[in-house]
Amino acid sequence: MVFGEKMLARWLYSLVFYLATPYLLYRLNARGKLNPAYRERKRERFGLYDRAPLSKSIWIHTVSVGELIAAQPLIEQLLQDYPQIPVVVTTMTPTGSDRVLAAFENRVHHVYLPYDMPDAMVRFLDCFNPLVSVIMETELWPNMIHYSRRRGVPVIVANARMSERSAEGYNKVKFLVRPMLREISVIAAQATPDGERFVELGLPSTSLKVTGTVKFDLAIDDTLKQEAADLRKAWGNERPVFVAASTHEGEDAQVLKAFKYIQSTLDNALLVLVPRHPERFDSVALLVNQKGWVLARHSQSDIVTADTSVVLGDTMGELLKLLGASDVAFIGGSLEPVGGHNMLEALAMGTPAITGPHVINFQVVADLLTELDVLSTVTTPLGLGQTALSMLQDTVCREKLAAKGLQVVDENRGAMGRLLNIIRGYLPDNLSG
């Protein structure tokens, strides 16, 4: 592709983005009906800020909650190693924003990532002046990457993954993707197959590093473990507790079918149901009530009594605690074709995990865990109910699974250190603390 064709591809892409601006604003307002936070801070979406520019910064981009959780140990280490350099954390969603503020308060600078328009990205870069850009996983935007590199800002894609399905999608717009990949300094891939797909799409092989997944480096402190233990005591240590984490539209009803099967044998079992998106909390609560179960909403500190069958995990940033307070976990986004969520969070909290068949977002991790016999896969609500019931009834087997899961997580740590070494290579030595 000649230089002119590269410019034309990105120019046409940018034009489409500008023409779509009315739709983007409409979409924000529409989503704001369910979550008012989408209607706030719209200026940030266009790179407009009421603040003084920073002289330099380290920029970490996380799409939403899952990527932010994965990035937290990295951010903490950068704050410790470079105390004099501001750290800027961008997200795309209000839930991700809430998580940043809850985790770091005023220790980092936080704004929404602007829409991928040239002028918006230039304003963002002018305001925050990053020394390096670290993009978590697969949030690749042509203008973000182009204008970063044009300013001499190295772009690192951390914990990068590329499924076969995603690669097929990117290949359809290879004329746009190929020049974008050639402007990336390093892609730190989770596994060799991910890296190979990036290279096939146009990434220079010299820009590829295989570091493993940082999700194994999830930090679990003693305070969190104690909070989980206290919560479990409040629910009743003697009760079997089954948690369905990060469920999506269509999955809640399937989980409730599975729970009905569990309760046919264990009538005192407790279900902790945690919808993925806060705008769905009320509709899921209504669904539970319609099924005739007594519901306690975690956000309202409802007391869980012997009559309570379902706890609705309708708070943000507490999933790890809810996982740790449960006996068995189902990881959502996997019975519906969403792609799955992070099953390592359950294992790191000492809770055996079950997943559905749709785990493309965590395929490498799921394959490893399955091979090591620490992850169960089901395909139907009945299968979920049967598998969860078997685990809930067999304490010895469940404890062995929990111990083995913790061992697997510990043995596969280290990706964070390898990633940090890459980032440090792009920061001046005299800036470290």
Active site residues: 67
What are the respective helix, strand and coil percentages of the chain, to the nearest 5?
55, 15, 30
156's tokens: 């690192």
| Identity of residue 219 | A
Q: Roughly what angle, to the nearest 10 degrees, separates helices 174-181 and 3-19?
A: 110
CA-closest candidate to residue 215, choices 14, 432, 413: 413
Q: What is the largest CA-CA distance in the chain?
A: 70
Contact yes or no for 114/46 (Cβ under 8 A): yes
3-state class (DSSP) for residue 123: helix
Place of tokens 């308060």: 105
Query: For residue 297, what is the DSSP state?
Result: E
Overall residue count recorded for the chain in this entry: 433
Beta strands in 277-317, from DSSP E residues, in sequence order: 295-297, 310-312
**What contacts 17, CB < 8 A, 6 or more positions away?**
115, 116, 117, 143
Taking the C-alpha atoms of residue 386 and residue 271, their distance in angstroms, rounded to an integer, is: 15
Contact yes or no for 304/311 (Cβ under 8 A): yes
CA-based radius of gyration for the chain = 22
